[in-house]
Structure 1
Amino acid sequence: MDLFETIMFPFQWLVSIIMVGFHEGLSAIGMPPASGWTWTFSIIGLVLVIRAALIPVFVKQIKAQRGMQLLQPDLKKLQDKYKGKKDQLSRQAMAQEQMALYKTHGTNPFSACIPLLIQMPFFFALFTVLAGISPAKQAGEGIGAMSPEQVLQFDASTIFGAPLTMALLHGGAENISVTVLTIVMILAMTATQFITQKQIMAKNMSEEAMASPFMRQQKMLLYILPIVFGVGGINFPIGVLIYWTTTNLWTMGQQFFVIRRMPTPGSPAAKALAERRAAKGLPALPNPGSKKDPHAEAAAAAAIAHAKGQRVQPHRKKRKKK
C-alpha cells in the first residue's frame, strides 16, 4: 500500500459507510437494491451528509470572505504606499502591515479554499472506491464497508443505460449513454460552478472590492476553473460526476441564500435587501462593516509600528566638541 492509498484508506471507509447506510435505508423503503437509482441517491446522500457537516466551516468562510472584501480599499492604499519599493526592508514592512490588516478584519487570503480542501479527500475517496469496484468484483471481495454482494450490485447498476463506474475515457466512449450523460453532467457541473461564482461577483461585492487587483485574479479564475473541471470531467466515472454536480448545486443554493439574506455591506445585494425591508416598513439592518474592534485595531497599529521600527536608521557620526 503506497502513501496515497494509506492516506485515502480511512476516507474510503467513511465514504463507503455513508453510501451503504443510505443504500440499506433506501432498500428498506422499497427501492431495488441493485438499481442504479438506489446507488445514485446514496451518492447524493453522501453529498448531503458531507456538506451539512461543513456548514460551520462555510459560516467561517463567509466571514473571512467579507473581511477580505472590506479590507480591499486599505490593501490598495498599502500597495500604493510601497509601490516601487523593492528593497528587503520595505517588503518586510509591507508584509507585516498586510498581516496586520488581515488580523484587523479577521481574515486571510486562503480562507475561501478551506471548504474545497476539506472536500477533496472525500472526492478522491469516492473516485478510488468506484475505480476499485471492478477489481473487487473480480477478486470476489468487498471494498471499504461494501460487501462483495453490494460490489456486484454497484458494478451492474446503471442510470439511463450508463454504468455508474464507467468514465468516458475509460471504456465509456463506446457506450452512447455514457457519452451523452457524461457531456450533460459536465455541462451541469461547470455551469453550476460558474453561476455560483458569477452571482457572488455580480451581487455580493462592493464597487471598491470589484476594482481591486485581487478581484481581477478572481475574474480570471471564474472562467479558467470551469474549463479545468470540464476537461478533467471526461476522466471521472458517472458516479463521481453525480457527486460533484450535486455538491455544486448545494453550493449554488447556499450562496443564493446568503446573498439574499446576509449580503456583504455596500454590495448590490445589500442595497436590494435594504429596499425590500423598506418596502415592508422594517428598519434597516446595522452595517457590520461600520463596527470596528478596538482590540484588533490596537493590534494592527502595534504591528505597523513594529514594522516601521525595524527600519535601519543611518547613524550620525559624533561631532567633536569644540
Structure 2
Amino acid sequence: MTAVWNAFLVHPVINLLVAAYGLLSDFGLAIVLVTVALRLVLYPLFVTQIRSQRAMQEVGPALAELKQKYGKDRQKMAEEQMKLYRERGVNPAMGCLPLLVQMPILFAFYAAMLQMTYGLGGGIGGEIAPLTGAQFETIRWSFIPNPLEASEGLDLTARWLPWLSAGLGATDPIFILPVVAGVTQLVASLMAQPAAQPKNLEPQARMMQSMAYYFPAITIFFAAQFPAGLALYWVATTLFQIVQQYFVTGWGQLTRWLPFLRGIPTPADRALALGQREAINEVERDMGGSAPAAAPAPLSEGSEDAQQETSRRRGRRRRRR
C-alpha cells in the first residue's frame, strides 16, 4: 500500500518540486510555484464547491419551512427536500468533492517534505539528510532533468524566509508561517460565506459558520507541528483561494470584520448586480412583456431577497441545460 501511495502521489509531488527547484534555485519559491499550478488545475472544482456552498445557504429558509410543515413525516420531508434541490439546481454532495481531492494532495505534500528532508524512506526523528541527486534518480520522471549532483543534498532553505535557517523541512521556530496560515484561512472562510446570512440557517450552514472560526485555530496548531514547507504550502494555497473568491464570490462575511470593504466593489458584486437586473427582466417577460406602471425597486446587493431571487434564476437555468 505504501508503494502505491508513493508511486501515485508522493513521488509525483517530489518530481514537481525538484523540477520547480531546478528552474528557480529556491525551494520556497518552488513550493509556491507548484502550489499555484495545482490550484489552477483544481480551479473548476473550487468554483463547483463555492457555488454548491452558496446554493445550500440560499435554500436554507426554504428547507426550514419544509421542516416546519413535514417535520414529523420523514418520507414526505425527504421527497419535498429533493424536489426543492431539483428546482433550485442544488447538489449537496458537490460541496464535498474538492475536499476529497485536496486532502490527499495535502498528505502527499507532507510525505514529500519528510522524504526530501530525511531522505527517501526517512521519517521524523531521524538525522536530517536532504534528498540527493542519486536518490532522486531512482524516482525521477524521464522528462524532468535532475538539477542535483549525485551526492549533493537538496537545499531546503528559502532565501526570502531568513528566520528558517534550518530549512523548510524543519518546524517554524517562531511560528510566523503557522500564524499567517491561520489568518489567511480565517479570511478565506469568511469570504466563502454570503454577506447577508438567511435568518433561519440549516444545521449544516450553522456548522460551516462555526468552522470559519475554529478551523483557523486548528490550522495554526498543526502548522506549528509540521515542517515549515507544509505551512508555506498552506499559506500559498489559501492566498490563491482568497484571490479566486474575490473574483467569484466577493468579500462575503469579511465585510463584518472590515466594514470599509463594503465600499470596494468586486467582480462578483458586479456580476450579482447584473444577475439581479436579468432576473427583473425575466419577470417582466414572464408577465407578457407589458410595461408595469412603476419600475420594480432594485434588490439591494447581498440582501436575502436578492439571494433567493438569484438562486431561483440559477435553478431555472440549470434545468434548461
TM-score bin (small chain): 0.5 to 0.7
The answer to whether the 8 Å contact 1:187/1:230 transfers is: yes
1:65 aligns with 53
In structure 1, the residue matched to 2:96 is: 113
2:105 corresponds to 1:145? no
Q: Residue 155 of structure 1 contacts residue 164 of structure 1 at CA under 8 Å; is this kept in 2?
A: no
Contact kept, 8 Å, 1:44 with 1:243, in 2: the verdict is: yes
SS of 2:140's equivalent? coil
Counterparts of 1:261 and 1:227, CA distance in 2? 21
Which residue matches 1:254? 244
CA deviations 1:121-141 (Å, max 9, x no partner) are: 221112111211313348962
Return closer, same or farther for 1:141/1:97 CA change in 2, 3 Å cut-off.
same
Name the CA distance, whole Å, in 2 between partners of 1:41 and 1:294: 42
Counterpart code for 2:84: L
Q: Is the alpha carbon distance of 1:294 and 1:221 closer, same or farther for their aligned partners in structure 2, counting shifts above 3 Å?
A: closer
Alpha-carbon deviation of 1:210? 6.6
| Counterparts of 1:261 and 1:246, CA distance in 2 | 19
Q: CA deviation at 1:156?
A: 5.3
**Amino acid across the alignment from 2:211:** L
Residue of 156, 164, 169 corresponding to 2:168: 164
Q: Match of 1:153, as an amino acid?
A: G
On the 8 A contact 2:27/2:155 being kept in 1, the answer is: no
Q: In structure 2, what is the equivalent of residue 241 of structure 1?
A: 231
Determine the C-alpha separation between the residues in 2 that align with 1:210 and 1:259: 21
User: Which residue is equivalent to 1:135?
Assistant: 119
Q: Describe the shift of the 1:112–1:193 C-alpha distance in structure 2 as closer, same or farther (beyond 3 A).
A: farther
TM-score, reference length from structure 2: 0.68
SS, match of residue 154 in structure 1? coil
| 3-state secondary structure, aligned to 1:286 | helix
Identity, % of aligned pairs?
25
Match of 2:41 among 53, 56, 60: 53
Change (3 A) 1:149 1:157: farther
Q: 1:100 aligns with which of 61, 83, 87?
A: 83
| Partner SS, residue 162 of structure 1 | coil
- Identify the residue that residue 289 of structure 1 maps to in structure 2: 311
Shift in Å at residue 112 of structure 1?
2.9
1:295-314 to 2 correspondences below 5 Å: 296=319
* Pair 76,24 (structure 1): closer, same or farther in 2 beyond 3 Å: same
Q: Which amino acid aligns with 2:119?
A: P
Matching residue of 2:74: 91
What is the deviation of 1:4? 4.7
Deviation at 1:151, TM superposition (A): 8.6
Give the whole-Å Cα distance in 1 for the aligned partners of 2:277 and 2:150: 53
Contact 2:53 2:95 in 1 (8 A): yes
Q: Distance in 2 between matches of 1:179 and 1:14?
A: 29
Instruction: Determine if contact 2:191/2:250 at 8 Å carries over to the other structure.
Output: no
Structure 2's unaligned 5+ residue stretches are 121-128, 254-260, 280-309
Tell me by how many angstroms 1:232 deviates: 1.5
- 1:39: Cα distance to partner? 0.9
Contact 1:64 1:106 in 2 (8 A): no
TM superposition shift of 1:75: 0.7
Report which of the two structures shows the higher radius of gyration computed on alpha carbons.
Answer: 1
- Tell me: CA distance 1:5–1:77, structure 2 relative to 1, closer, same or farther (3 Å): farther
Using a 3 Å threshold, how does the CA distance of structure 1 residues 294 and 116 change in structure 2: closer, same or farther? closer
Kept in 1, the 8 Å contact 2:181–2:231? The answer is yes
Find the counterpart in structure 2 of residue 189 from structure 1: 181
- Unaligned regions of 5+ residues in structure 1, if any? 27-32, 168-177, 298-322
Q: What's the offset of the Cα at 1:188?
A: 0.6
Return the alpha-carbon distance in structure 2 between the equivalents of residues 115 and 295 of structure 1: 21
Q: TM-score, normalised by structure 1?
A: 0.67
Supply the AA of the counterpart residue of 1:195. V
More helix by share: 1
Q: Is 1:9 aligned with 2:7?
A: yes
Q: Establish whether residue 80 from structure 1 lines up as the match of residue 68 from structure 2.
A: yes
Note if contact 1:68-1:107 (Cα within 8 Å) is conserved in structure 2.
Answer: yes
Aligned pair in 2 of structure 1 residues 15, 74: CA closer, same or farther (>3 Å)? Answer: same
- Could you say if the C-alpha distance between residues 283 and 112 of structure 1 is closer, same or farther in structure 2, counting changes exceeding 3 Å? closer
> Which residue of structure 2 aligns with residue 29 of structure 1?
none
